[in-house]
Structure 1
């Protein structure tokens, strides 16, 4: 190769010097371009440093750096206040119709109306025995000699006028009761109207019969919760028949109070032992008997006992042979008839026998008879109907008005649990009670009695205790029915708004 045509490779030192010289010439000729490049490079460097997490080195010092603030885990500072708990749900599985608020009425409207020193039943004093044991009465310990096992422990001397105390006690213990009226669906008025009016029923002073009723309405109408619906979401209990509270405007009619005719009572629901069929606010509930089991097991044991009892008589009649009965009064006719038919009927005169203090005087005859006669008395219904059924005996009615009561509690088919005999046919002698009852076969009687026994849980009032029950008694049925009715009315009112 020709040495003249080949260029010599420059030495490295000369090459670097040549390159730097070229950059210097280029930088000097384009200073602004290079300043811009330098600025971008500086920005990129700053961003890179900011985003790069610091290196984590173990702290080898024995105490925290004085430049750091140390907050101990367990401090003595007061913790922040907890958030308030939300209010309970208005409707729950346990309270599907809402909650009830019971007014704290002055004692003059309930407690002060009860005779304090009369704790035992007295035939001549209708108020006796009401106050003891929250209205359930003393234990019927005399039945220990009559009933097997521990069945006597479910029986008490319960006054038929104690319904107001029983319901008040159950409301106060109810799991759906609320102490906050703003959370209530319904409001209970614990006014003992039966006791307030009963004290003056046989007086001619009509103002005395209405005094407590008017005072109570004045008090409750002043409450803000009454004014919201004018009392249509309120309910109460009355231990006497409806006719004792519907005094007519005729000055010659002085019996009873005008309480249920007062304008303010027209929307208030009331549980009452005998209702007025034309008033939807009257809800008839069973009279309280002396049978108050505490557990489901006690009830089942009693049902088995009355089912297997050996009944020696065809029918029975239990009443007080009152000298004021008219000659043609059906009760007098039945009393005389039962005595004549002593081989088939057992008659009990509570005017002679001490029925109020000795429960066996009425219970044993009812247990021994297939049927029990229930003629109309001063009213269409009576406590005796429920005493009869609790004993597993089939009731015999003589007026169909009796079937218009207690729709929530008694079977819908009257023939399934009772017998009806026309009253007039008995009076004129065209029908003999014994002959009618003898027509039923053993199987038919057994079917009727079984229906009666199945109904017992619905017509009794339990005595609450710590036990868990698997059925609803008369109070539960009445309470749930009234609560559901009020709930539906409120929902309908809200829909129309």
Structure 2
């Protein structure tokens, strides 16, 4: 069903756009959509739906993707009676957002009238052959080049009009994995998508950005919570507000071995202070598609520890926010320098705690002592602020109610950010080939 919907996008758009509207309705829409028009480029299926169809073609992958492609990337429901909870795999963020953008209220069939142009290219899925197919291991510099050739040969005026500065796409992974130098020798893990000059002008929404992200901007990792109505969102937030927090802090994750590191320090402290700390072992990915394992403990905890792992950011940060569990960060790049569109950088002290990892690993600082010293009134205020931010990091279900659509979720805030960024990039007449964006200005809107 998902593949059918995505393959019939042009027809669906036409049906949406030809529905009769009164002049008053059209006038209101023109006003509300001023500066917000988006055109979805029609790409051949080899760039999206056919990639979904081959999701089980790579036996070297630790876990197949196909079981989680249901419901347009939300994944299967956690159980038959579930209405809002799914076994969501972040690797399928691209079709998830693609489906949501079909509902954007300001779509235009004319690319020349659009303020931004969305490329429904499933870049991370297209990278799988270069990562998991041995014959292509040394060809990762070729990733996405067919897309560039298509953009230059199919309606080339659309791409050349603004040199690609008004085009954007979604990347379901950390930008690091797509930043290998095209001439790298030896070839390491990842592809060269973001390092190729052909794609320098695109705006990319990634699950994690690099320290100096002039191409990409990070957006929240999708959680398992995708309500379809405002009542279901309100019911969940009410549950999180009234939940009894009997545990000071929680660590849900794995790792910690291999010498002095923050995860090892957290594990050691939790093992010594079981009265204040709970651990949920998520080693080997056992928590990835089973939110019950960690959401219930998060609801019972005041603080959720968010140490870096293989990369600085964690999906657990956003799971915890939905549970009203105050995040504790140990690196600023874990969130503060990443998610400015969704978690305001100048407000982190209002909803999170920062403890430098060096102070814990080498300085003898005890996390339990730092957190226990925070006055209970301040903890309640911080928790309320966390829950106020929760709707903005949630990915609501496609086809949701009008009431829920009135509240901006992670996709809405990401599109707002994309439009601001593109507006700044194309504002100067005669834009140069390469334009950088001031991240602070970009986040401020």
Mapping 1:219-230, distance limit 5 Å: 219-222=150-153, 223-230=156-163
Q: What residue is the counterpart of 1:162 in the other structure? A: 92
Classify the secondary structure of the residue corresponding to 1:280: coil
Cα distance per residue 1:247-268 (max 9 Å; x no partner) = 0344135221111111121111
Cα distance per residue 1:230-255 (max 9 Å; x no partner) = 10110100011010111034413522
What is the rounded CA distance, in whole Å, between the counterparts of 2:27 and 2:431 in structure 1? 20
| 8 A Cα contact 2:223 2:318, kept in partner | yes
What is the rounded CA distance, in whole Å, between the counterparts of 1:346 and 1:192 in structure 2? 38
What is the rounded CA distance, in whole Å, between the counterparts of 1:352 and 1:189 in structure 2? 34
Q: What residue is the counterpart of 1:233 in the other structure? A: 166
Compared with structure 1, are the counterparts of its residues 277 and 428 closer, same or farther at alpha carbon in structure 2 (3 Å cutoff)? Answer: closer
Between 176-185 and 310-319, the greater mean CA deviation after superposition: 176-185
Cα distance per residue 1:1-47 (max 9 Å; x no partner) = xxxxxxxxxxxxxxxxxxxxxxxxxxxxxxxxxxxxxxxxxxxxxxx
What is the rounded CA distance, in whole Å, between the counterparts of 1:332 and 1:185 in structure 2? 48
| 8 A Cα contact 1:353 1:361, kept in partner | no
Classify the secondary structure of the residue corresponding to 2:217: strand
Q: What residue is the counterpart of 2:263 in the other structure? A: 331
Q: In the alignment, which of 401, 404, 412 is matched to residue 476 of structure 1?
A: 412
What is the rounded CA distance, in whole Å, between the counterparts of 1:217 and 1:181 in structure 2? 17
RMSD: 2.6
Alpha-carbon distance, 1:380 to partner: 0.9
Q: What residue is the counterpart of 2:13 in the other structure? A: none
Residue 314 of structure 1 pairs with residue 248 of structure 2: yes
Between 165-174 and 353-362, the greater mean CA deviation after superposition: 353-362
Residue 174 of structure 1 pairs with residue 104 of structure 2: yes
Unaligned runs of 5+ in 1: 1-84, 145-151
Q: What residue is the counterpart of 2:49 in the other structure? A: 111
Residue 263 of structure 1 pairs with residue 197 of structure 2: yes
Q: In the alignment, which of 190, 211, 215 is matched to residue 146 of structure 2?
A: 215
Compared with structure 1, are the counterparts of its residues 466 and 454 closer, same or farther at alpha carbon in structure 2 (3 Å cutoff)? Answer: closer
Alpha-carbon distance, 1:214 to partner: 0.8
Compared with structure 1, are the counterparts of its residues 327 and 408 closer, same or farther at alpha carbon in structure 2 (3 Å cutoff)? Answer: same
Q: In the alignment, which of 332, 336, 342 is matched to residue 409 of structure 1?
A: 342
Mapping 1:242-321, distance limit 5 Å: 242-248=175-181, 249-321=183-255
Mapping 1:343-422, distance limit 5 Å: 343-351=275-283, 354-402=286-334, 403-411=336-344, 412-422=346-356
Q: TM-score, normalised on structure 1? A: 0.74
Q: Tell which has more relative contact order, 1 or 2 (C-alpha 8 A, sep 6+).
A: 2
Compared with structure 1, are the counterparts of its residues 405 and 491 closer, same or farther at alpha carbon in structure 2 (3 Å cutoff)? Answer: closer
Q: What residue is the counterpart of 1:96 in the other structure? A: 34
What is the rounded CA distance, in whole Å, between the counterparts of 1:262 and 1:410 in structure 2? 30
Cα distance per residue 1:142-177 (max 9 Å; x no partner) = 7x6xxxxxxx52111110212111111112222212
User: Greater CA radius of gyration, 1 or 2?
Assistant: 1
Cα distance per residue 1:98-139 (max 9 Å; x no partner) = 421212212221122225676xxxx94152444210011111
What is the rounded CA distance, in whole Å, between the counterparts of 2:64 and 2:416 in structure 1? 30
Compared with structure 1, are the counterparts of its residues 242 and 357 closer, same or farther at alpha carbon in structure 2 (3 Å cutoff)? Answer: closer
Cα distance per residue 1:163-204 (max 9 Å; x no partner) = 111111112222212223233222111111112224433677
Residue 464 of structure 1 pairs with residue 402 of structure 2: no
Q: What residue is the counterpart of 1:197 in the other structure? A: 127
| 8 A Cα contact 2:329 2:355, kept in partner | yes
| 8 A Cα contact 2:227 2:400, kept in partner | no
Classify the secondary structure of the residue corresponding to 1:387: helix
Classify the secondary structure of the residue corresponding to 1:337: helix
| 8 A Cα contact 1:196 1:209, kept in partner | no
| 8 A Cα contact 2:248 2:302, kept in partner | yes
Classify the secondary structure of the residue corresponding to 1:175: coil
Q: TM-score, normalised on structure 2? A: 0.82
Between 379-388 and 477-486, the greater mean CA deviation after superposition: 477-486
Alpha-carbon distance, 1:447 to partner: 0.9
Between 437-446 and 205-214, the greater mean CA deviation after superposition: 205-214
| 8 A Cα contact 1:314 1:370, kept in partner | yes
Alpha-carbon distance, 1:207 to partner: 4.5
Unaligned runs of 5+ in 2: 1-22, 433-445
Alpha-carbon distance, 1:352 to partner: 7.3
Compared with structure 1, are the counterparts of its residues 398 and 487 closer, same or farther at alpha carbon in structure 2 (3 Å cutoff)? Answer: closer
Alpha-carbon distance, 1:90 to partner: 12
